[in-house]
Structure 1
């Protein structure tokens, strides 16, 4: 903007904060790449990490050609940095403030004009326009400005702004910018807030610190009440007055982050023969070595990608675009019809090469062993190979039908698998999914967010109903990720205990699974009958409400025969679950301890009050069946799941997909003792080979592997995989699951991976080009300093 224009605006500057006057102002972030990256290269950002161009609040903002076009015709209100930030002796604009520029923008918008607010040292400009103008141009805003207020007290300013925004009844998220003294810092906090609204990530105190590193709080999902928009009050101080501006989320969602990047390498390999796999691995190693050689070439330009890991000891002088391009071309070249597959996963090129060498050595050793023990050296003579590494690389070679070809089974875990902060990373990779879930129901309640994502959260403080709801929610989300984003379609489905309810809710059988959330929280089944005061147990034991019940359950390494031999001596003790080489004993705590002492076994106390799978639960069998008798989807939608065989612990044959049959099956499983060993073996007999646990953590995966190893009645091979694992990050756990599905030849779509990687490659190429241009501009200056 010219100095004349700036001066002209300063003459008409408003003295009071302008009123929004009931209109909604649409806000859209537009990248300011050329200016900001050049400034970054020349050190303008300095050591302030919050102003770095790769901040998480900005990284996912989609490029928008329509917004760029509108921005090109907008009235620019570019800031005179020297005057506003107090770094110049000139008096031009010396009286202008952040409040004044914002008010001036609103004044123009009230005349149906479009304004572009910016600061030359920041990576984004702010396009502002009347909401009706945005709607006319079909430009989806990241946020809306709906109210402003000022006062001597912050509470007064906030209340004024909320009243103007017609949202006096809510408590907005407070964004404290009162510590900011310069225009640049205030404007940065503002565009960061709009970035948080677009990414649906919760702003936290000291955003600059939380978002500059790996602090998980800076990435926490911003849950909202059901069908309610996110609202924030942006608070700052100027002229000894408190100011508040109310912002509401817009209709534009942030771009999904890529599951793959320069620190998460993922290379699927396909071939029709073992030698073909070896050849592909060798070729990949050569390509990676070539990229490494290019990186270490002194004549190569030095760039740092927006995705670079800049922690101590990491290599930052890397041309990441070549690595990302290699991953993308590898994914596109993968032959899904080829008979054999492997996956290389690593966190760096060096690690990937090590993984390749180890896999090649395994294949070579297997082939040599096979040739020694056979009269032929043909491909078919190779030994069976099941190879996995901690990094996630995997290879499955077999002469039999691959496990994932027609025997894929989704397994839904029971109550008690959820853990604090579970899935906290998933929203940024699947923002559209979470937006759809919000339209369908109450995501906050579905995941019991107030408990799961609270500071110092403890799932031990959650009730049985809350654990059940969160468990179903976790399974529901993971099912959507696998089936809708990776197009993984199971041939079978089964559930552990209450996992049967998760199975029907998650796989699109029940029409309104969200409606069961509130019912589960209030139903006496979960609050008082088999949990809480244990009314079923009181009735079975003929106790009154004043009598104490000390209930517990114990996991014990024992056979059912060990327990059943003395169980009749303890009428208040029940063999609730049989699961491989362990059993679950439940009932009166003293009776359970006495039984364990008698058989010489030690039990691990679960310290959870639930009488599921015990005789007293049979007293509410009818109530449970009635509770789970839900309306089903229309037949047309049910046809999409027609290939799935739904297996229940209560039947040796697949369950008919009817409301009554489903409800009866769940009630039978819920109330009767659970023999999980029998359920797994029966599902294997029906044809299941590859079991994928769809839920938080890995409750059933280890159990299924143990059952498979110790069941002489079923000889067919099988393997279990978990989609999630407590203690690791969601991204890596999901990729490891996808890698194993690929190696077992289960049908998997790569669209989700290639789409995210293509977006990341585009932004990385742009970043490197801008950085290269900045280096070229800076080189003569450096040369002059050296002379």
Structure 2
């Protein structure tokens, strides 16, 4: 990678060169490759060789900063810094310093604690106390004008929160300046008032949606008058949800290790070559020119066509997202589940397998996921008696599988699929939204009969269909691995809609059955909810699962209200002491910075009463004292 310090420091003669050297040292120590601000493409007249020679070389210009993963051979990383002296160039070659024990080599940086974005917490037992504290907070703002003052205020509020964390309600405010915090407080004062009015209406027996007892702003400030988390000492009623493979995108997780350096060693130890497992070169394209929007979109589409690659990347990033919560925020799940191939991610991320890294080689060499259910789709061709791809005829070049998302119920789809042998409902996402897959022309015929719109997902893999059952035994062999000691999290599978025993064969058969059978996600959500899950955190890219959880539970609430009204029963609050409120929380959003997304997620979780360790948001620095350095050397 070739970067340029002056894209950050500007032209400042010797001062810029010193800053450039410091930037190189920090990047090497913090394990990231610095990007070049506003880079587009090199000018042809400035290149010593023709541009095609550059494209064919191993050199590239990073347009965004990205994580530098360990070398597969275990060697140390080096960085060369070049600067212009009075009449020549000076070159410095630096090598990283690493501790003997990699597990102790945690290179904290205080990134979140030094962020311009701040989390300001306010808690209280009732509306009156909350409003009083908001007024007190607002009264302090005119005195404090700088960023350091805002940081100090956020820290003071956090200290108060720690000493009064048992209070019933918490407001989480997000702001980057005093002016912005003033605006958020003003919005909170009115928003909290409205929320408690709606809560009073609900307590009087007047139906109200769960969103009317929540308040949020575009910035991400949040308050809920009905916290979803339980007050039990060792439980938050939290469920980790692992999305399927289709959510992976170019640029996924680019900043996560810089935001959360605590997890670097743990993730690196998951595989011999973690960069390869996380598909670094696929998700972070190497190029001498900035990749344009059209090219990025095509790369995203190409990712979906390689089931083995995105399956491996999905598993790897599931481990990353999970480690952030379990190691940094000290939050463990009471429940967990996976959507489609997300079930594989669940077992790997929660430490069920002793050596999840073994899956890399297995997936790379798997005929099932490289050519039978993906790629050439040999299993389908055999099942449907189609020419094999190697025959290279017009029939073999035409697509034989496509997946469409449509608005319809399972009953509606089954009614029009009578007699269709090459069309399958592979996944039910919500009560009125499903995935239809199979031979493209046959699928389009069914869609036309239904009279609905359809969107092709460009995913040519035939899992969750009857033909996939031919690969069942191979899947069992692929996912049979030695397991660790039993964990406390209850692992729910769409193979049986029950917790899966944490035994090697049970897990392998559960995954194989899940990938062969249709996924009924609403049934999975309702099962988890009925067994106590209330806080659903999506451990992966996007917020599709969160959206489907919300729609499924909203549909259930409407069904329940309809039954009560039909039976002439009064709609009242539940009196058995159980909490019926639920919340879904995404932790990654394409096009939104990871930093902002996590602050928003934390704001939501805190207001819903989830117990988290938030120290990394308030304390930390890249500067280490001599005492700390000496201790690390020992």
Q: Which range, TM-score by smaller chain? A: 0.7 to 0.9
- For the 8 Å contact 2:464–2:516, the answer to whether it is kept is yes
Deviation of residue 438 (structure 1)? 2.5
The count of aligned residue pairs is 545
Name the counterpart of 1:627.
478
Q: Deviations over 1:141-181 (max 9, x none)?
A: xxxxxxxxxxxxxxxxxxxxxxxxxxxxxxxxxxxxxxxxx
Name the counterpart of 2:45.
none
The answer on 1:598 being equivalent to 2:449 is yes
- For the 8 Å contact 2:228–2:608, the answer to whether it is kept is no
Name the counterpart of 2:434.
583
SS at match of 2:148: helix
Change (3 A) 1:407 1:435: closer
Deviation of residue 360 (structure 1)? 1.5
Deviation of residue 493 (structure 1)? 0.4
Give the alignment of 1:259-338 within 5 angstroms.
Answer: 259-261=112-114, 263-291=116-144, 295=145, 318=146, 320-334=147-161, 335-338=164-167
Single out whichever of 582-591 and 431-440 deviates more from structure 2. Answer: 431-440
Name the counterpart of 1:539.
382
The answer on 1:198 being equivalent to 2:29 is yes
Name the counterpart of 1:228.
75
- For the 8 Å contact 2:328–2:616, the answer to whether it is kept is yes
Name the counterpart of 2:51.
none
SS at match of 1:345: strand
Deviation of residue 344 (structure 1)? 0.8
Deviation of residue 760 (structure 1)? 8.3
- For the 8 Å contact 1:645–1:654, the answer to whether it is kept is yes
Task: Tell me how far apart the structure 1 counterparts of residues 242 and 194 of structure 2 sit (CA, whole Å).
Answer: 37
Single out whichever of 673-682 and 449-458 deviates more from structure 2. Answer: 449-458
The answer on 1:352 being equivalent to 2:181 is yes
Specify which of 248, 258, 269 is matched with residue 111 of structure 2.
258
SS at match of 1:604: strand
- For the 8 Å contact 1:262–1:323, the answer to whether it is kept is no
Task: Tell me how far apart the structure 2 counterparts of residues 470 and 559 of structure 1 sit (CA, whole Å).
Answer: 32
Single out whichever of 263-272 and 621-630 deviates more from structure 2. Answer: 263-272
TM-score (normalizing by structure 1):
0.64
Specify which of 282, 302, 308 is matched with residue 461 of structure 1.
302
Name the counterpart of 1:428.
258
Task: Tell me how far apart the structure 2 counterparts of residues 539 and 688 of structure 1 sit (CA, whole Å).
Answer: 43
Name the counterpart of 1:388.
216
Change (3 A) 1:350 1:453: same
- For the 8 Å contact 1:647–1:655, the answer to whether it is kept is yes
Task: Tell me how far apart the structure 1 counterparts of residues 588 and 349 of structure 2 sit (CA, whole Å).
Answer: 16
Task: Tell me how far apart the structure 1 counterparts of residues 623 and 142 of structure 2 sit (CA, whole Å).
Answer: 20
Name the counterpart of 1:340.
169
Name the counterpart of 1:444.
275
Change (3 A) 1:247 1:406: closer
Specify which of 481, 491, 499 is matched with residue 342 of structure 2.
499
- For the 8 Å contact 1:403–1:744, the answer to whether it is kept is no
Name the counterpart of 2:318.
475
The answer on 1:563 being equivalent to 2:563 is no
Q: Deviations over 1:85-130 (max 9, x none)?
A: xxxxxxxxxxxxxxxxxxxxxxxxxxxxxxxxxxxx9xxxxxxxxx
Specify which of 580, 587, 593 is matched with residue 729 of structure 1.
593
Single out whichever of 710-719 and 188-197 deviates more from structure 2. Answer: 710-719
Deviation of residue 233 (structure 1)? 3.7
Change (3 A) 1:632 1:514: same
SS at match of 1:711: helix
Q: Deviations over 1:606-658 (max 9, x none)?
A: 1111001001101111111121111112x3xx4xx31x111111113211111
Change (3 A) 1:652 1:665: same
- For the 8 Å contact 1:201–1:218, the answer to whether it is kept is no
SS at match of 1:269: strand
Deviation of residue 524 (structure 1)? 1.0
SS at match of 2:611: coil
Change (3 A) 1:188 1:336: closer
Task: Tell me how far apart the structure 1 counterparts of residues 228 and 126 of structure 2 sit (CA, whole Å).
Answer: 14
SS at match of 2:173: strand
Task: Tell me how far apart the structure 1 counterparts of residues 624 and 132 of structure 2 sit (CA, whole Å).
Answer: 30
- For the 8 Å contact 2:236–2:611, the answer to whether it is kept is no
Deviation of residue 321 (structure 1)? 2.3
- For the 8 Å contact 1:685–1:714, the answer to whether it is kept is no
Structure 1: runs of 5 or more not aligned: 1-47, 56-120, 122-181, 296-317, 376-382, 764-787
- For the 8 Å contact 1:555–1:582, the answer to whether it is kept is yes
Deviation of residue 49 (structure 1)? 7.6
Structure 2: runs of 5 or more not aligned: 1-5, 42-60, 100-105, 205-210, 562-579, 626-634
The answer on 1:513 being equivalent to 2:356 is yes
Change (3 A) 1:187 1:496: same
SS at match of 2:475: helix
- For the 8 Å contact 2:240–2:336, the answer to whether it is kept is yes
Deviation of residue 444 (structure 1)? 1.0
- For the 8 Å contact 2:497–2:523, the answer to whether it is kept is no
- For the 8 Å contact 2:325–2:331, the answer to whether it is kept is yes
Q: Deviations over 1:246-294 (max 9, x none)?
A: 4322227653233244631211222222322222222222222321xxx
Q: Deviations over 1:474-513 (max 9, x none)?
A: 2211100011100112111011001101111101111111
Change (3 A) 1:525 1:258: same
Task: Tell me how far apart the structure 2 counterparts of residues 400 and 387 of structure 1 sit (CA, whole Å).
Answer: 14
Name the counterpart of 1:248.
95
Give the alignment of 1:87-126 within 5 angstroms.
Answer: none
User: What is the CA RMSD across the aligned residues, in angstroms?
Assistant: 3.3
Change (3 A) 1:329 1:236: closer
Q: Deviations over 1:212-248 (max 9, x none)?
A: xxx9835222234323322334456889988765432
Name the counterpart of 2:548.
703
Task: Tell me how far apart the structure 2 counterparts of residues 733 and 372 of structure 1 sit (CA, whole Å).
Answer: 32
Deviation of residue 582 (structure 1)? 0.9
Task: Tell me how far apart the structure 2 counterparts of residues 399 and 487 of structure 1 sit (CA, whole Å).
Answer: 19
SS at match of 1:232: strand
Query: RCO greater where, 1 or 2, for CA within 8 Å and sep 6 or more?
Result: 2
Deviation of residue 678 (structure 1)? 1.1
SS at match of 1:217: coil
- For the 8 Å contact 1:573–1:588, the answer to whether it is kept is yes
